[in-house]
Amino acid sequence: MTKTKTDHEHAQPIYPYPLSTVPSYPSYLPAQTQAIGSLLPVREYPQNENPPKLFEGLTIRGVEFGNRCWVSPMCQYSSDNGHATTHHLVHIGSMAMRGWGAIMMEATSVVPEGRITPGDAGIWTDSQIAPLKQIVDYVHALKGVIGIQLSHAGRKASVLPPWDLRQATQKGYSGGTVVSEQYGGWPDDVQAPSAISFNPGKYPDPNEASLEYIENLKLKFDEAVERCGKVGFDFIEIHGAHGYFLHEIVDPISNTRRDQYGGSFENRVRLPLEIARSIRAKWDKPLFYRVSATDWLEEDLGPERDERGEWKWWGIEQTTLLARELAKIGIDLLDVTTGGNDLRQKIKVGPSYQTPLAVHLKKNVPNILVGTVGIITEAKQANDILEQGKADVVFCARQVLRDIDFPLEAAMDLGVAVNPAVQYELAWSRMLKNRREVHHTCAERYGITEVQGGEGKQLRM
């Protein structure tokens, strides 16, 4: 017998709108309301009226960065002949869900012999485009910003991943770190500005790159940039730091050439400037340059420039001169780090220990943005750097791996509300509470309890 509804019975409470999804994404993916980690509207969250600098947006050449807490490139040594793998999709995708203002893919070599290890990332062939594009498309579907660092390892190429070396050392191994051809290395094809080993007896004995090799390397950077465009990256960084090829060639310690790329300061910086100029002409999106601002060799070698006016090692004076030339070319941001080119370096490590170098460059090269790195682990610390004008953005690396939710936690610490991923928003309900409604609570860190934030409430019926 069919049951007939009476007048007091109601129809099903149907939701009249389609579910929010990313229409262009190849699989089902809920749509984000705005960039994850970006400030939520002041009309709903009045605590955002005067936000901390860390959560102030930044626009460079039309690319909008939702905050100034960015991910540094971090080698994963997990690529398959230079091709990104599932690991990279999960690794980068996890960061994209956590509110970082920008994510930078790891050092990615423009030639096979420019990798640090056989597991390094590459962008020297078209077959590497598709796996990178899968990652970039996912980040973009989350409304994120992602770039790539282009590199050549120079004399530090064809060596072991750090964990293989550590495990072997723990078993008593004390030999070299060079990977043989049998295991995917290229010990006889390590190319450097000069035939000087980074660590004789442990690292490769490199070949001095010929002029023909250098000309071809410039071409390979250009080809890599074309692939970056096909992948869809939002920005590019040129890796000129940490003792790799472009750091080696500017540094008198590792460059003893007698041609147009060696000797004087002008000759030593010639290749980085040629590469930067060529990329700038082809790439209309943001372009960054990572520089090691000092070798930290004062204790061993004295001043960067001796009493005769000769440069002895790479330091802040030459970095400043290089930065001015990069600014003229149109480099948008200097990513300021230090060291990596000489084992005699004496680094005084501590919180924000590299920021004074960024301060110097920001003061002396005012027409370029500056990013800083180095043991930046606290929200107030990161924000103070920016509020005090010491840098324009903060890059994090190991802190990302230790605490991937750092941007959202920093927002809570600094008293603002930013957008969490829709899939994770219930975990951040304390942050999403209108702070002006909160008076006295027992919460010690955030000034608002889990229950007040909604985590202890029952679902409304």
Phi and psi torsions of 304, nearest 5°: -60, -35
CA angle 304, 307, 310 (to 5 degrees): 55
Report the residue count for the chain: 461
Q: Are 291 and 241 in contact (CB under 8 A)?
A: yes
Q: In whole angstroms, how far apart are CA 422 and each of 21, 279, 409, 425?
A: 11, 37, 16, 5
Q: Which residues pair with 192 in a beta bridge?
A: 208
Which residues belong to the active site? Answer: 244
224, containing H or E segment: helix 211-231
H helices present in 330-427, as ranges: 355-364, 379-387, 398-402, 406-414
Residue 124 amino acid letter: W
Question: Whole-angstrom Cα distance, residue 223 to residue 235?
Answer: 16
When computed from its CA atoms, the radius of gyration of the chain, rounded to whole angstroms, is 25
Question: Whole-angstrom Cα distance, residue 125 to residue 223?
Answer: 9
Q: Are 123 and 432 in contact (CB under 8 A)?
A: no
- CA-nearest of 100, 136, 132, 106 to 120 is 106
- CA-nearest of 316, 220, 207 to 274 is 220
Sign of torsion over alpha carbons 314, 317, 320, 326: negative
- CA-nearest of 185, 201, 85, 180 to 132 is 85
Phi and psi torsions of 36, nearest 5°: -65, 130
**Residues of the chain by 3-state class (helix, strand, coil), percent to 5:** 35, 15, 50
Question: Whole-angstrom Cα distance, residue 206 to residue 189?
Answer: 7
Q: Are 314 and 253 in contact (CB under 8 A)?
A: yes
